Structure 1
Amino acid sequence: MFFWISFFGFLTFQKTNALKRLLNLRNEKIEKVLVVKLRAIGDVLLSTPVIKNLRHNFPNAKIDFLTEPPSKEIIEGNPFVDELIIFERENNNPKKFLNLRKRKYNLVIDLFCNPRSALITFITGAKFRVGYAFRGRSYAYNIKLKPRLEVHHNVEFNLDALRAIGLEIVDKKIYIPLSDESEKFAEKFWRENNLNEKIVVALNPSGTWETKRWGLDKFAQLGDKISEKFNAKILILWGNKNELEDAKKISSMMKTKPILPPKTNLKQLASILKRCSFMISNDSGPMHIATAVETPTLGIYGPTNPYAQGPYGEKHLWIRKEDLECIACNLTECPIGNKCMRELSVDAVFDAFVKLVEKNKN
């Protein structure tokens, strides 16, 4: 990293008093904006309110968004984004970064603030470079943000970057654009499985960390209870091959056979979830996709903090084992056998689901 900075010798570090930069940028001539948000599907989805609010504040600006390949579909087709830029970690060609500088952005907002995104932000040479100056990354930003002391949702964390530069917040909804193709795909799936006018509940047993995953046997028992109580059709969602095997295991354990959708891309998944009556999910990207299409969602939590990463919006609920000192430990490996998920009972999650149903009665 330091080699790159010295290689780009013309990129000089400017010692700027951050307080002088904390002005109302609505009064500035902002013609080109870049939003940087790397990493996973859920992270990028929770940053989408920033895009709409930027467009509200700068209606005539060119607004670009830089992310990584897994999240491409989350932003593709967003009406408030002019250009989607894909950052591939394997192709860290210095010329690609120089091209960012040639775009002459006035404002760059780094919503990820890791070493890579900080370097990208710095290299742009934008007049206003906004970010959280974590762990020695303050060199990259001339408007340095400080996170709130209290725990707050990631949507608010992202929007705080706009508040800090005097921008107006008019909408906090997360958003994924659907396509004609994805809608036709979901309509066909619904028709072929006779799901029209049925109560359809999607179960998502996946999760990027092992510690985030509630037991497959528990999902099977939960699916049976919901099917019996509400006469509901159960969908078991999956993404990769391992998740397909998990979905098949759940299906084999259930008394009432669920439906396993075919392989989908993210937009097709979103269109399917849009048609579901409810979603129950571990903390994961698909959970946030469900909230983006306004399907009432119950999040199952253990090592992560639902106050920061829970399903966002009034329609949704979350549940966790509250009486554990180690809850929300943020560990990807558990030294005590994933106690938070192991001790979260099927009855407790079912009761939470009943509350979700009551909450969303018309």
Structure 2
Amino acid sequence: MKVLIELPTWLGDCVMATPAIENIVNFDNDVQITFISSFVAIEAMKNHPKVVKTVVLDKKYRVLYKTARNLGEFDYFFSFRSSLRSKFLKFLISAKNKYQFDKNKYQNRHQVEKYNDFINDSLKSSFSADKLVLHVDNLKLNTNSSSLPILGINPGASYGSAKRWYPEEFAKVASELSDRYDIVIFGGPGEVDIALDIEKSLLEKGVKNYKNLAGKTTIPELMSRISNLDLFITGDSGPMHVAAAFQVPTVAIFGPTKDGETSQWMNEKSLIVKKNLDCQPCMKRTCPLQHHNCMKLIKAEDVLKAVKGIN
């Protein structure tokens, strides 16, 4: 069975689609998968054992048209995206069966279940959504001479500033735990500044056993490093879902987003810190009330309490 899958664009959504993708494999174990998506999604998923080809999607319609026409014939096409561009791609693809995720149809459940229900409806199957699955070349990246366990902190969130907790609070938590953990600061290219703020604050507190990797890792390196962590403190983000895939003990800080839909999936050691305000969840990229209390009211003590609860 030849299958073309358009993955979700973002890292977190991509990871949350993995149980559904595994169920496509469960439907036909001889499946040959071609992935098409953003660079980030392809980097995250390219090591899947059933993948025969990957294509990074160009957003220009002209290039998209040419790419689609050159992909060949498929038995199935699944798009995990609801966009107009994906509708256009679906129209162009040559496949006997074509299905596109509809975000309006699948609501009020975890994103993993939404994606899994989409695949079950498409294949007329009844697979349950199992654990998240990521295939990484587990690089031996822990070159620490220290024998301390490793704490990862991830201050960023691609969705927007409303999801971000404050660098000074992250630094307080990291400083408090620095005698028990070596610290690794994560972040994408857009989070270099916030990571530098944390680094500066740690140095002011006399903490030296840290590495700042913000903007310095590829997606496979990021996944591999997260898989080696002993504890992860993060906002609602792509790396949070990567940690869930590797069952890393995690404290996740939630503000404007729906933790019922995007919390860690099936991670036994996962705790959420949030304030349950009347204005939550607003699902906005910036605080519409301009006070940002859903994040501002969360303090380092709240997160440290959760860390105690998880260990």
TM-score by length of 2: 0.89
- Secondary structure of 2:36's counterpart equals strand
Match of 1:199 in 2: 149
2:29 pairs with one of 50, 54, 59: 59
Give the aligned partner of residue 291 of structure 2.
Answer: 337
Q: What residue number does 1:226 align with?
A: 177
Aligned to 1:286: 239
Paired position in structure 2 for 1:351: 305
1:290–1:348 CA distance, 2 compared to 1 (3 A): same
RMSD of Structure 2 on Structure 1 (CA)? 2.1
Structure 2 match to 1:140: none
TM-superposed CA distance for 1:290, in Å, is: 1.5
2:130 to 147, 172, 176: 172
Partner of 2:86: 117
Aligned residue pairs total 302
What is the alpha-carbon distance in structure 2 between the residues aligned to residue 307 and residue 134 of structure 1?
16
AA paired with 1:96? Answer: T
Alignment partner, residue 153 of structure 1: 110
Indicate if the aligned counterparts of 1:162 and 1:168 stay in contact, CA closer than 8 A.
Answer: no
Name the CA shift for 1:246/1:169 in 2 (closer, same or farther; >3 Å): farther
Query: What residue number does 1:69 align with?
Result: 39
Q: Which residue of 1 aligns with 2:199?
A: 248
Residue 38 of structure 1 aligns with which residue?
A: 8
User: What secondary structure sits across from 2:24 in the alignment?
Assistant: helix
**Partner secondary structure for residue 194 of structure 1:** coil
2:273 maps to amino acid: I
Instruction: Measure, in 1, the Cα distance between the counterparts of 2:23 and 2:205.
Output: 45
The Cα shift of 1:243 comes to 4.5
1:274 to 210, 227, 230: 227
SS in structure 2 at match of 1:257? coil
Pick closer, same or farther for the CA change 1:342–1:64 going to 2, 3 Å: same
Matching of residue 95 in structure 1 with residue 95 in structure 2:
no
Q: Which amino acid aligns with 1:234?
A: I
Q: Which amino acid aligns with 1:251?
A: L
Compare CA radii of gyration and give the structure with the larger one: 1
- Give the fraction of aligned pairs with identical amino acids, expressed as a percent: 25
**SS class of match (1:312):** coil
Q: Distance in 2 between matches of 1:90 and 1:131?
A: 20
Report the Cα distance in structure 2 between the residues aligned to 1:223 and 1:266, rounded to whole angstroms: 24
Q: Secondary structure at the match of 1:126?
A: strand
Give 1:261 deviation, angstroms. 4.4
Q: Which has the higher contact order (CA 8 A, sep 6+)?
A: 2
* Matching residue of 1:18: none
Q: CA deviation at 1:90?
A: 4.2
Q: By percentage of residues, which structure has more strand?
A: 2
Q: Tell me the CA shift for residue 233 of structure 1.
A: 2.2
| Residues in 1 aligned to 2:224 and 2:103: alpha-carbon distance in whole angstroms | 37
Partners of 2:50 and 2:125 lie apart in 1 by 16
1:183 maps to 139
Alpha-carbon spacing, 1:244–1:344, altered in 2? closer, same or farther (3 Å): closer
Matched AA of 2:165 = W
TM-score, normalised via structure 1 length: 0.77
**Does the CA-based 8 Å contact 1:65-1:81 persist in structure 2?**
yes
* 1:215 corresponding residue in structure 2: 166
Maintained 8 Å contact 2:168/2:198: no
Q: Do the aligned partners of residues 175 and 116 (structure 1) sit closer, same or farther apart at CA in structure 2, a change above 3 Å counting?
A: same
Corresponding position of 2:211: 260
Residues 298 and 311 in structure 1, CA contact (< 8 A), matched pair in contact too: no
Q: Deviations over 1:88-128 (max 9, x none)?
A: 2147422222224xx22222222111111122112214332
The answer (yes or no) to whether the contact 1:302–1:328 under 8 Å persists in 2 is yes
Is residue 119 of structure 2 the alignment partner of residue 162 of structure 1?
yes
Residue among 253, 257, 264 paired with 1:300: 253
Distance 2:195 2:172 in 1: 18
The secondary structure found in structure 2 opposite 1:347 is helix
